[in-house]
Amino acid sequence: MEFPTIHTNILDGVLAVPAVLILTQCFKLFPIPRQYFPTIASILGFLISILISHRGDLWAGVFMGAFYGSAAIGTYSSLKTAWCAYKQKKAKKRKKPRLQID
């Protein structure tokens, strides 16, 4: 068995991953349970990779599609975690009791 030759360029990371992120966010307009969104992102990553980025080489498309979906899931997760931590820190500062000097 010979490993596939995978040609990647900057457009893969700059266009494919944000496209998966945006399309996954568009699916949130529909009443789909939240636990299915990572699966939707993975499927979109596979579709973009197999049908657009690596047409003609199925194994390269499957390999890179896993990266597209995983990168989109990880990016969304890290942004959401950072945003929630920021909001908690800001809320904690507001609730902090002030020192009263009598």
Q: Could you read off the pLDDT of 54-81 as tens digits, one per residue?
A: 888 888 889 889 999 999 999 999 999 9
Q: Where are the domains of the chain?
A: 10-95
pLDDT digits (tens, 9 = 90+) for 18-46: 999 999 999 999 999 999 999 999 999 99
pLDDT digits (tens, 9 = 90+) for 91-101: 888 776 666 66
Query: pTM of the predicted model, to two decimals?
Result: 0.76
Cβ distance 64 to 8 under 8 Å?
A: yes
Amino acid occupying residue 37: F
C-alpha–C-alpha distance, residues 7 and 89, integer Å: 43
- Report the interhelical angle of 58-95 vs 17-27 (nearest 10°): 70
Determine the pLDDT at residue 100.
62
Contacts of range 31-35, beta carbons closer than 8 Å, 24 or more positions apart? none
First to last CA, the chain: 81
